Amino acid sequence: MHLFGICNILTTFAQNSSNMEKERTVIHLEINGEHHYYGSVANMYEFYTSEELGITYASLRNYGLSAERPYQNKKCIIRKGVLLSKSGGRGIRKSEQVE
């Protein structure tokens, strides 16, 4: 395959990948029977103190929170997950979209 063919394949892949779904990390906090969702662990600590959660920010970071390893104590459960969202097409002209 020559260089021109490779460039066409890469361009097509780039255009198709822009139409794929995006993944974003989400932190799920269950506390006092309520469920709250945050974009990061740091964001969660803007709303709750270490005393309310029963763990400090640094300790939770060192814990290694993941989808397979949620954190749980007597005060709360903290889970890490993935929020799937459709890639938006705003700002892309119809002629630029790949069907």
Count of domains forming the chain: 1
Query: Is the residue at 30 inside a domain?
Result: yes
Listed in sequence order, the residues at least 6 apart from 69 whose beta carbon sits closer than 8 Å to its beta carbon are 63
- Residue 67: count of CB within 10 angstroms of its CB: 10
Query: Is the residue at 96 inside a domain?
Result: no
What pTM was computed for the model?
0.67
Residue 6 has pLDDT above 80, yes or no: no
Query: Is the residue at 79 inside a domain?
Result: yes
Q: Locate tokens 């959660």: which residue? A: 53
Q: Which domain holds residue 63?
A: 22-85
pLDDT tens profile 45-86 = 999 999 999 999 999 999 999 999 999 999 999 999 998 887
